Amino acid sequence: MLWIVSVSLSEAYLKSALKNRPSSARMLKVPSSSTARPFVAVGGYGYLILSNQDGDAVPFNYIDISGTGTPVGAGDDWCSGSDAGTLYYLGFPFPFYDQTKDSISICSNGTVILENTSTYVGLSNAPLPDTVQAGFVAVMWDDLNPAATGADDIYFQSFTSCPDGYSGACAVVQWNNVPRFGGSVFMNFEVIFYDNGNIKLQYNSAVDYNDATVGMQDSTAATGANPDWYVQYVYGGVPDNHVPDSGTAILIRFIPVQTNDVVVFDVNPDELIPVSPVNVTAQVFNADTLPIAGFTFHVDIYDTVTNTVVFSADTSVDLSPRDINTVTFSAFTPSDRKFYKAVVYVTDSRDPDPTYDTSQTRFRTHVRVGDVLNTFSLRVDPLLGQNFWFVTYNPTYRRFFISDYYGGVYSFDPGDPAGTFRMETWAFAPVYDPYLNHPFGIATDNDSLFFLGHLEYDGWYVYGEALASYREVSPGVFAWTGDTLDLFFIAAAITYGMDYQTGTRDALWLVVSDGTSHAATLINPTTGTVRKNVPLTGLLDIPTGISYLPYTGELLLTDGKKVYRVDTTGNIVDAYYTPGNLPLYDLDVYEACSGGSTDPVVAYAVTPGDTLNTVHIVATGYYCDQVISVAERPKVEKEKVSLYVSGRTVRLRGADGVAYVYDLAGRRVGTFRASETFTFNRSGVFFVKAEDRVFKVVVR
């Protein structure tokens, strides 16, 4: 098992701090806490999103108007309609939902407003439909800054004959060399409005994507009058294959009225499902202005490993005119640890247009890293836990220890979290200042030693960070050992999560970031010597949590968007979003697999600031029977580590931390401190693992 802690601060708050920070301070970055909504392919009123990222025939024909168009003179956090009182005329009547528009307001933060053009659409992007009562296109809605040093501008140009090959008129809005606020990637992207009502989004450079929103909404979606009058392509990186990049072309296409024409989209279920009967459903859009009776659809379900059809069904339904309808097929019972694809398509001969008559989904009964499998509440009275930051598991105490933002350390037994949850008595090191300092990362050597990071952070700026060591000096009382290490020596970066590497003496993993470059760094926590520095690339955001997975020798990371498994050279082995883009902050392994168990190896995620202290049980992507294995090896005696046997009792010399006992089948049957003895209760062949040594023991 794995425990994960998350925390969040608003982007606007962080931006304010970044604008005014002194040069000696470092910015503290935390993930966004917004909840991502699923991809909406067809919105109310009949708009369909297509893209070349999905394999759709959407050509990428970028129209560069930076040398011919009109520069709008955009400032930071600015809209031409609300800030400058300026509207840009398209040059043709443009159908937009149930209205016709002729002018637009252009906004610096990647949006174009077509309805209520004097409205301001700000920096705090959100999933659609947003509450702002304006009809707008989110080309890349995020906190952008066309007024930054080195940036160019936003341009507008209207054409009577569109230069991308479309036969009619069009108008283009182009963001040229515009970075995210505080970013260094200068992006080029555009939106094209066609006189037939279609809208095309194109990205002509690498995109510095954070959690931007791409899509479109009508003002009545915000008011609730027409809640489905919006389409969303991506928000918060969900779905992950919709994060735009250089060469991405997205078409928001209006579906015209056509007799008996039906479009299939949004097939479900998707992602993780239980091993129990499931009904495949699909959303379908009747493009006709009249109802259609008894319209027929078909589904095929494939095992994607063998590429064979394992289930098929037909159904007929009555469809409401010009509306989204739901089609439900008979139940299918999946098998455990399988990957499936369901394809739904029109088989009714009355449909005149085969375009968009087929759609599909993928679902599985195999867990992936980041899957949320269950939740429970950790609330106790009086309420102890608020704003948790980092977590570590100590197998000697059989408890998790959590540092919080306000200077508390808590612990609980994972077998009964709510019943055993308590605040520990923690005598902090002299580096701790309750007004400026926060317990940050926490780790343990799996025996009696604890490491606690102390971040000098006044709510706006980070000034310093130290690592202090603690031990239990009396039952329930933990005190500073006198050892303190300055953490700012590591690449002038902030250290976030930390975890001791099981089986290796004096080896502490840190995840560090200077806001741009990230690394997993292995140090000696006493001397500060860097043993290994592993650059981390390919992550979506700043990594904050780290845990060493002793089963496989991998590192588990989280960056507030995904959970990653990374090998110790920095290669991403697997990564996946949590449902709803749950922002996870820190994580630690809980080795709780029983012998022969086929259960998933899971993680426990904590949402900070939640008055119910909701705990999310999160999968690591492994099953117990996949990771519990100890190969038979000859007895090893190296350096000071050695094993002594007396009858059925064994003891170790030269080892630190915790030793693990496995039987011949590779099942763990015991755990003991390396400084203590262990007595077997039966005969047989066993293996004792201590640090990076494995000893074979024959008990008679």
Of the candidates 254, 252, 264, the one whose C-alpha atom is nearest the C-alpha of residue 357 is 264
Alpha-carbon distance values, 176 to 20, 151, 173, 214, 489 (Å): 27, 8, 10, 18, 39
Tokens of 480: 């500073």
**Per-residue pLDDT at 148:** 95
Mean pLDDT of the chain: 85
Residue 32's pLDDT band (cuts 50, 70, 90): very low
Residue 627, pLDDT > 80, answer no
Q: What is the pLDDT of residue 656?
A: 67
The residue among 595 and 107 whose pLDDT is bigger is 107
Alpha carbon distance 290, 44 (integer Å): 16
Q: Is residue 219 scored above 90 in pLDDT?
A: yes
Q: Check pLDDT > 60 for residue 659.
A: yes
Q: Who wins on pLDDT, 515 or 94?
A: 94
> Looking at residue 292, what is its pLDDT?
97
What one-character-per-residue DSSP string does 440-479 give? EEEEE-SSSEEEEEEEEE-SS-EEEEEEEEEEEEETTEEE
* Closest of 689, 677, 540 to residue 629, by C-alpha: 689
Taking Cα atoms as reference points, which of 239, 218, 242, 215 lies closest to residue 228?
A: 218
Q: pLDDT tens for residues 116-130?
A: 999 999 888 999 999
Task: Give residue 393's identity as a one-letter amino acid code.
Answer: Y
Per-residue pLDDT for 194 more than 60? yes
Sequence-distant (6+) residues with CB within 8 A of 23 are none
More confident residue, 437 or 96: 96
Q: What is the pLDDT of residues 56-74, one digit of tens each?
A: 889 999 999 999 999 999 9
What is the distance between the alpha carbons of residues 649 and 639, in angstroms, rounded to a whole number?
22
Contacts for 416 with CB less than 8 Å, ≥ 6 apart:
none
CA dihedral 527, 529, 531, 535 (to 10 degrees): 130
Of the candidates 235, 25, 227, the residue with the CA atom closest to the CA atom of residue 131: 227
Whether 694 shows a pLDDT value over 50: the answer reads yes
Spell out the residues 6+ positions from residue 590 whose beta carbon is closer than 8 angstroms to its own.
1, 2, 3, 393, 400, 414, 604
The whole-number pLDDT of residue 580 equals 60
**Quick one: average pLDDT of 196-206?**
96
Given a cut of 90, whether residue 458 has pLDDT beyond it is no
Predicted pLDDT at 581: 63
Residue 278, pLDDT > 60, answer yes
Share of the chain above pLDDT 90, in %: 52
pLDDT at 365: 94
Confidence of residue 657 (pLDDT cuts 50, 70, 90): low
**Cβ pair 57, 48 in contact under 8 A:** no
- Say yes or no to pLDDT of 113 above 70: yes
- For residue 96, give both structure tokens: 């937009």
pTM attached to this predicted model: 0.63
Query: Which position has the token pair 């000034």?
Result: 463
Q: Does 218 or 438 have the greater pLDDT score? A: 218
Kindly state the average pLDDT of the residues 286-294.
94
Scanning 1-107, the segments in alpha helix (DSSP H) are 11-20, 80-83
What's the pLDDT score for residue 383? 53
Q: Do the Cβ atoms of 332 and 311 come closer than 8 Å?
A: yes
Percent of the chain with pLDDT over 70: 88
Range in 189-203, 451-465, 482-496, 645-659 with the lowest mean pLDDT:
645-659
Q: Which of 59-73, 134-148, 387-401, 594-608 is least confident?
A: 594-608
Looking at per-residue confidence, does 295 or 699 come out higher? Answer: 295
Over range 349-373, report the average pLDDT.
90
What SS3 state is found at 626?
Answer: helix
Tell me the longest C-alpha to C-alpha distance in the chain: 94
Asked if omega into 239 is within 30° of 0 (cis), the reply is: yes
- Neighbouring residues of 320: CB distance < 8 A, sequence distance ≥ 6: 286, 291
Looking at the DSSP bridge assignments, the partners of residue 531 are: none
DSSP 360-379: EEEEESS--TT-EEEEEE--
Average pLDDT over residues 526-540: 91
Mean of pLDDT values over 550-559: 87
- pLDDT grade, residue 23 (50/70/90)? very low
Work out the number of other CB atoms within 10 angstroms of the CB of residue 160.
10
The answer, yes or no, to whether residue 15 has pLDDT greater than 50, is no
What is the pLDDT at residue 9?
A: 35
Ramachandran assignment for 365, one of left (phi > 0), alpha (psi -120 to 50 degrees), beta (any other): alpha
Per-residue pLDDT, 3: 39
Mean pLDDT, to the nearest integer, of 454-466? 82
Mean pLDDT for 269-287 is: 92
Q: What is the residue-wise DSSP string for 393-418?
A: EETTTTEEEEEETTS-EEEE-TTSHH
Least confident window among 58-72, 454-468, 594-608, 659-673: 594-608
Give the span between the Cα atoms of 61 and 82, in whole angstroms. Answer: 31
Would you place residue 491 in the very low, low, confident or very high pLDDT band (cuts 50, 70, 90)?
low
Q: Return the amino acid letter for 575.
A: A
pLDDT score at 92 = 97
The 3-state DSSP class for residue 698 equals strand
Euclidean distance between the first and the last CA atom of the chain, given in angstroms as a whole number = 34
Asked if the model's pLDDT at residue 82 lies above 90, the reply is yes
* Amino acid type, 240: D
* Residue 200 reports pLDDT greater than 60: yes
164-178, 332-346, 558-572: the lowest-pLDDT one? 558-572
pLDDT value for 77 = 93
Which range scores top for mean pLDDT: 457-466, 512-521, 610-619, 631-640? 512-521
